[in-house]
A and B are shown apart, each in its own frame.
Chain A
Amino acid sequence: MIEFIAGKYNFWIAIILMMIGFYGVIAKGNLVKKIISMNIFQTAVFLFYISIAVVDGGTAPVLWDKNVPFDNPLPHVLILTAIVVSVATTAVALALIIRIYKDYGTIEEDHIREIHTKRVTEARKNELC
């Protein structure tokens, strides 16, 4: 049993990190914290990819000597792409947060909702008058 747990520690780490991130995305009301959690969530998946690329006793896949076993380079490359995507997402999200802050003066989700509801009801009232 312990072997099973210890032998797959890379998966466990990925799972734990993922759940931490997932929890943060759902539970945190602060938009920046949401983004940080989202990044943790994504990073967990990236680590998972990297860890499955490992070959027993392999070296970095830089081919000086073809006889030495080396790690599978493809997941690394893929994750490079995924990291770029993730950075882009974070950038868009942060830009949005800045705009939201300018409009609402807060980055707490609850407050934003409150302000929004207030504005909507006011707009309705004005229309009725």
Chain B
Amino acid sequence: MNFVEHLHVLIVAIPLLAVPIIPLVGRLRLDFSWYFTFLALSLSFFMSLNLLMNVWGSGPVSYFLGGWRPPWGIEFHFDLLNSFVMVVTTFIAFVSVIYAKQSVANEISYDKIPAFYAVFVLFFVGLFGMIATGDIFNLYVFLEITSLAGYALIAAGKRRYAKMASFNYLILGTIAATFIVLGIGYLYMATGTLNMKDLAERLPEVYESRVVFTGLAFIIVGLLIKMAVFPLHLWLPDAYKYSPSVVSAAMAATSTKVAAYVMMRILFSIFKIEFNVIGIPITELFIYISSIGIIVGSVLAISQTNIKLMLAYSSIGQIGYIVLAAAMMNPVALSGGIIHILNHALMKGGLFFVVGAVAYKLGTEKISDFRGLGKRMPLSAFAFTIFSMSIVGVPLTVGFVSKWYLVTGAVASAHWYVIPVILLSSLLTAIYFGRIINLMYFSKKPDEGEIIRNEAPFGLVAPTLAVAGLCIFFGIAASVPIEIAAKAADALIGGGLWK
């Protein structure tokens, strides 16, 4: 093997190697820890771009760790779907590490910064691994890596209740992971293999078996907890609220989305679509719970006074879209779901960036303190407006693209009752984001004098604006991600991802 063949595994390996190095170099000079973090995560990003281009050009790529061929060894398998998700995740890692520099310096105590960065990278390593791996037990291991790092990151929040938020997440997260590992055990019992491709080949013979169904049920429940799908969302609001700004942004943009990717992979490519259609009506159930989740998330978001909580509940609604898209079982809706992984990562990551910038400058998370932000922090407020319009689904933003595909998908498979749900939630979203935009631009306290411009530092504003730019860019020139998503969706539905 030459170097180029190893390139793809390095997406996961380089950050993993960087994890122990970061605190060490941090002892030499504090700045170095950030530089190393940046270096590792940006390398991952560029390599994953290269990966996506390779996969787009010449089809799926496999890599056998240590040269052991599957089903004995662990395989990293890259096809269009996970290369796409990989690019999204590494991109969020890349921008959030840029954003982290000033935000972390402000929110984390001086001596903890190198350790914080190490854990931050570890969190992403886990996510990258979950995306890359072609081995279902390995998936569990990476899931636990990212979860453990996540607990630590949440606990790094400044407020005291952060530890409790983290502890609650730890309990639920561990239960979820244990469910997943139990489900994997069942699948292993039925088939005797852990390699995903192998599983996909052997499972059809035992579709009738109850063991397989129980195994799937356990895995799904575990994943639903990880994705924070209503009504298993209870850990999420506190976790987002109490964690440091950059962690909220990175987590909201990536972790639930990666879990959603895993669900797609299990439902469509380990189990074939036939199992989902003929078997027990899991998908119908998914449509119901995700529809309820979409509405409930939006309604709860309206009643919040803390901006981070509002965004957290909005996330619960948004993850419902992805589940809904997958559950409708047709290529159009599914490509909408895949594209929504990108779109929601951009929007939610960006929104949390703005919230972090406001917290940096004004030290507040209350919605009422956004009053007059249009004058005080014009750039951040402008970015916030773009993200809000996008999440509402105004045309020419990314949010519209996903909604369009979802609604068209619903028409395509005649799930008519889904359309009012999507439209109603758009209206509700318009209400709670409209309220903030109103506050930012058109509302003034009577006793307030002239508002002084007090924009966040460049290091926070630049990544925010870049993401906002992408929100518009991919809203107008949506063809590129749509083509990838549509191809991936076709492959998923046709069971052709392994070819």
Contact = CB atoms under 8 A, between A and B. Distances in A.
Contact of A34 (B141, B171, B177): B171
Interface in A16-36: 22, 25, 31, 34
B170 A89 contact: yes
A127 to B, nearest CB: 9
Interface of A: 22, 25, 31, 34, 38, 41-42, 45, 48-49, 52, 74-75, 78, 81-82, 85, 88-89, 92-93, 96-97, 99-100, 103-104, 112, 116, 119
Interface of B: 137, 140-141, 144, 148, 151-152, 155, 160-161, 163-164, 166-167, 170-171, 174-175, 177-178, 181-182, 185, 188-189, 194
Contacts of B141: 81, 85
A25 B170 contact: no
A2 to B, nearest CB: 21
A82 B174 CA distance: 12
Nearest to B71: A74
B163 A85 contact: no
A116 B241 CA distance: 14
Contacts of B137: 78, 81
Contacts of B177: 85
Contact of A25 (B163, B171, B181, B194): B171
A82 B178 CA distance: 9
A40 B480 CA distance: 49
Contacts of A88: 144, 148
- Leading 3 A-B pairs by shortest Cβ distance: A85-B144, A103-B160, A100-B163
A49 B140 CA distance: 14
Contacts of B164: 100, 112, 116
A96 B155 contact: yes
A45 to B, nearest CB: 5
| Centre residue among B160, B178, B185, B189 by max chain A CB count within 10 A | B178
B167 A96 contact: yes
A52 B170 contact: no
25 contacts: A22-B175, A38-B175, A41-B178, A42-B178, A45-B181, A45-B182, A52-B188, A75-B185, A78-B194, A81-B137, A82-B140, A85-B141, A85-B148, A92-B148, A92-B170, A93-B171, A96-B163, A96-B166, A99-B155, A100-B163, A100-B164, A100-B167, A116-B160, A116-B161, A119-B160
Contacts of B189: 52
A45 B177 CA distance: 11
A119 B177 CA distance: 33
